[in-house]
């Protein structure tokens, strides 16, 4: 019984005949494939403007008035070197780009990377 199976396995199997399919002629409305010379240099993309909002003033009097209002609301001592993270230019979309974290801005901190908006 096993000998008949082995003989069937050992016998050469005929290879199936593959019919050749004729190539499809190109359609008249098909475009030619792009060649390497068709690609030109890609122009540089201009930099994206910062997402931070900046105060735009019409004159210096308006700017000085705004600075006085901020100074009146500031309750910290003048010698205090701590800052809130929202006062820093390096805070973008609520994330510190130098320290790489999302700060909880509930109390002022000392930071060597602080950069003032003013």
101 assigned to some structural domain: yes
Query: And the tokens for 81?
Result: 């070197």
pLDDT on residue 41: 67
Whether 75 and 103 have beta carbons less than 8 Å apart is answered as no
Dihedral sign for Cα atoms in the order 74, 79, 81, 82: negative
Within a domain: residue 32? no
The answer to whether position 91 is within a domain reads yes
25-75 residue pLDDT tens? 766 666 666 666 656 666 777 776 665 555 555 677 777 787 787 777 766
CA distance 100 to 112: 14
DSSP conformational letter for 102: -
Residue 46 lies in a domain: no
Q: Is residue 74 part of a domain?
A: no
pTM of the model: 0.36
pLDDT for res 19 = 77
C-alpha torsion 76→80→81→87, nearest 10: 10
Asked whether residue 111 is domain-assigned, the answer is: yes
* Residue 13, domain member (yes or no): no
117 pLDDT exceeds 70?
yes
Q: How many domains does the chain have?
A: 1
Range of the domain at 109: 82-118
Span 69-98, mean pLDDT?
A: 82
What is the mean pLDDT of the segment spanning 80-86? 85
Residue 42 lies in a domain: no
Asked whether the beta carbons of 118 and 112 are under 8 A apart, the reply is: no
Q: Among the residues of 1-118, which ranges form H helices? A: 2-10, 60-73
State the Cα–Cα distance between residues 33 and 117, nearest whole angstrom.
53
Identify any residues that bridge with 58 across adjacent strands, giving them in sequence order.
Answer: none
Over residues 79-104, mean pLDDT: 87
């Amino acid at each position: 019984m096993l000998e008949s199976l082995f003989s069937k396995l050992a016998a050469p199997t005929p290879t199936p005949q593959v019919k050749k399919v004729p190539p499809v002629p190109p359609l008249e409305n098909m475009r030619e494939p792009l060649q390497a010379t068709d690609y030109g240099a890609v122009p540089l993309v201009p930099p994206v403007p910062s997402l931070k909002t900046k105060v735009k003033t019409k004159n210096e009097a308006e700017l000085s008035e705004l600075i006085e209002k901020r100074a009146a609301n500031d309750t910290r001592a003048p010698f205090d070197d701590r800052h809130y993270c929202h006062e820093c230019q390096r805070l973008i979309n609520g994330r510190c780009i130098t320290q790489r974290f999302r700060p909880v801005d509930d109390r002022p901190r000392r930071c060597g990377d602080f950069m003032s908006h003013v």
